[in-house]
Structure 1
Amino acid sequence: MFVMPAIDMVATGKNIARLREAAGLTVKDLQDIFGFATPQAIYKWQHGTAMPTIDNLVVLAAVLAVTMDEIIVIDADLRARMSA
């Protein structure tokens, strides 16, 4: 079976929170930057229950002054199941 790399959502969420704090930003700051009515999406990102969309990931990387690769944590040990 081919082992495909997969995103570790929980580790990525922790990474987002760490990078946000290192940049001196609050969840409210990100909420305002993205124009979200509530902070729930950002909390979901940080808890690993949801991922930012690609366009939001691009903005997040720019705001945090990092690359997208520095935000996303890849877990190459997870096996992605593909149906034929």
Structure 2
Amino acid sequence: MFPTIDKVKTGVRLRRIMDLRGVRPRDVQEYLGLECVQSVYRWLDGVSMPSVDNLYAISKFLKVSMDLIVCGNADTEDNRQIVWETEQQRRICTYYKKISDGRVA
């Protein structure tokens, strides 16, 4: 089987990065000049993917590489790490991941 983009995982990853950056779907819609916010929600829900141009613009807006946003069927969570702007962001993400995994009471 050849590698393909996993739309659902990519949407989850995009939502996580947006949450960490404090960016709302409407912010992305306005930045890209989209007519409606529904396109952004379809990306986040894994229904569709942004165009390559929009994906590039989103990566610049969120200050991450496109490679970090896109998840493929051959990717694992451990093979990529987000580069944090501050130590505080890294700690918050680590804590959030532990909460999500149910490892923090």
With structure 2 as the length reference, what TM-score do the two structures score? Answer: 0.68
Picking from 31, 54, 57, the partner of 2:55 is 57
1:74 aligned counterpart, secondary structure: coil
2: CA distance, partners of 1:21 / 1:76: 25
Question: Which residue of the partner structure matches residue 5 of structure 1?
Answer: 3
What's the C-alpha RMSD, in Å, of the aligned pairs? 1.3
Q: Deviations over 1:4-57 (max 9, x none)?
A: 001111010011111111111111111110111210110000000000100001
State, as a whole percentage, how many aligned pairs show the same letter: 36
* Structure with the largest fraction of strand: 1
Q: Structure 1 stretches (4+) deviating beyond 2 angstroms? A: none
Distance 1:49 1:25 in 2: 20
Aligned residues: 75
Partner of 1:30: 28
Answer 1 or 2: which has greater helix percent.
2
1: CA distance, partners of 2:42 / 2:54: 13
Matches of 1:73 and 1:29, distance apart in 2 = 22
- Structure 1 gaps, min length 5: 78-84
Match of 1:46 in 2: 44
State how far apart, in whole Å, the 1-side matches of 2:19 and 2:52 are.
Answer: 21
* Structure with larger RCO (C-alpha < 8 A, sep 6+): 1
